[in-house]
Chain A
């Protein structure tokens, strides 16, 4: 078994989310250094606020302002902060019941060490310098020995309300394709296309994924297929993809390589787009240093008869 392939894989996504009336008021409030909660029908104040009572499911809209000071209800000392967490030096995760609130808010507490943190500790909000209307407008909490704040009614109205947030996320992986796909990719490095045969139905899968989806058993023997093949079906692409340096229109096709039990995908070049047809015989074109065929071009052979590829469309 040759060395397994692996490569870094980054998944990044900026989710754009709209806010309801309560979350909009709360996050806009943070931008204005104002902490809002919502009062439930039985008189409790929820901070952070929600639109529906978690117990009764009643709609909640009665906003109040609570104090930027509060009490730690539980904590956990984080000696090694991870990327994107609120502080990059060791800190405590805390749940803080703000003065005037009946529920606790999760955030970070900036403290010198674990021994200086305890349940019941008094803390206050440290605001971020730049605030946009997000939970990160609270930079963190910090220890505070001072007055207890009060609750006052608040309309929840500010100029230029924040109505949405963009929540960026990035996750890093090391991707390994497994045995079957490693064999396939390694063969491509030698400009060979290798499929794998199902021991039960004898079909040759390309690209192989290690299993026959029909029989549910491992594919075993490696079988070199192609290089030539037959266009089984195709479409004409008229929309230019971002970061893709291919002139439109172009043809994207299913190609049954000779010896393969199903068709794979590929672009057809070397022929005007409107002359591509089912049954066209094609062969791969490799570019210098390319790790897979850049495209397929006509071989010049006569077209394949429909009966020879109809099972592979």
Chain B
């Protein structure tokens, strides 16, 4: 279904993603990013019709932390605001819908995650089915490793190929001043076999923000808006034993509904925190070697949980803004082993 209004990402900003940020609270971490993204458009908070954020209290162990982070936006006079307890990519989806309905012409979307205060591998077990999975505390690396082994058994990849994905991602991140791991590094020991340290994302803190605008408003705010040609998100059964872990039908369906297969894309920003997940996503999205995959370095170079998906949308948009890309795909994921997947297709106007 073609969107009823033209909506574009007109600005993107992100923090430097760091292993620890003890010196700043969440709002102190988020606020500079908000100021940057606003200054790129010249907009003030009072000019923004709708604000939506994504985060999770479990990461830093703080209750209702998004209400504190909202202090960095400036909520007086009263603003129209919403929050998703998910990656900011889903906050962007909500904001996009809000604009499509005509309820807003501009939107500010931001998300952040501070994983450093806790143990993110343990924290993420709390999102699992509480009856059959959570009592066993299977951590995020373990679940990804089960998927990786299934891919190896199926002949879809092997350990050297996974190491190649790790090296390519972090080499790409050399040009990304915000990335946490810049430049190739040793694969290291097994964390949970078959995944080695290099196959896993860094643990770190960070924030990101984008501004959306509709139609001519977008053209006023940005020389080359990244038009959202389609966006969709789909979910699969929670139980890993029900799914074929070597495939991602939800990603494929979301991509189809977003129009990703209508014409080739030149760039793909994939939210694949583990090397093995890139294998699954490339297959589901039918990406060949002509597509620049994760030129930013992707989540293997910086994975601020709850912001890493929004960053994929922002990085894809930034490449359209600067003319490097004409048609880009952005993907975000959430849940164990790529359970939930969002795909957006972004395009720049012919120059």
Contact = CB atoms under 8 A, between A and B. Distances in A.
Interface of A: 1, 4, 6, 9, 11, 15, 17, 19, 23, 27, 46-48, 50, 54-55, 73-79, 82-86, 93, 95, 97, 103-108, 114, 119, 134-136, 165, 167, 169, 171-181, 209-218
B241 A105 contact: yes
A78 B28 CA distance: 37
B118 to A, nearest CB: 4
B171 to A, nearest CB: 27
Contacts of B132: 48, 105-106, 135
B218 interface: no
19 contacts: A1-B23, A54-B237, A74-B147, A86-B136, A93-B192, A95-B240, A106-B132, A119-B149, A171-B119, A171-B122, A171-B123, A175-B60, A175-B61, A177-B25, A178-B25, A179-B24, A213-B71, A213-B76, A216-B45
Nearest to B194: A76
Question: How would you classify the secondary structure of chain B's contact residues: helix, strand, loop or mixed?
Answer: helix
A19 B132 CA distance: 12
B74 A214 contact: yes
Given A78-B192, A86-B136, 10 more contacts: A76-B193, A79-B193, A106-B133, A135-B136, A171-B119, A178-B24, A178-B28, A179-B23, A213-B75, A213-B76
B74 A76 contact: no
Contacts of B195: 76
B349 interface: no
Contacts of B213: none
Interface stretch (B6-14, B85-93, B138-146, B225-233): B138-146
A176 B241 contact: no
A217 B239 contact: no
Nearest to A134: B135
A76 B143 CA distance: 8
Contact of B134 (A54, A79, A167): A167
Interface residues of B, number: 59
B31 interface: yes
Interface in B106-139: 117-119, 121-123, 126, 130-139
Given A93-B145, A176-B22, A106 B123 contact: no
Given A74-B146, A171-B119, A178-B24, A209 B136 contact: no
B27 interface: yes
Residue in A108, A178, A180, A211 whose Cβ sees the most chain B Cβ within 10 Å? A211
Contact of B149 (A47, A76, A173): A76
Contacts of A107: 136
A209 B126 contact: no
Contacts of B74: 212-217
Contacts of A84: 137
B122 A209 contact: no
Given A171-B61, A213-B74, A104 B137 contact: no
B161 interface: no
B299 to A, nearest CB: 20
Interface string B37-72: 000000001000000000000101100000010111
Contacts of A135: 131-133, 135-136
A104 B145 CA distance: 16
Contacts of A78: 142, 192-193
A217 B31 CA distance: 7
A17 B23 contact: no
Nearest to A108: B136
A110 to B, nearest CB: 14
Contacts of A175: 60-61, 117
A293 B114 CA distance: 31
A120 to B, nearest CB: 9
Nearest to A215: B74
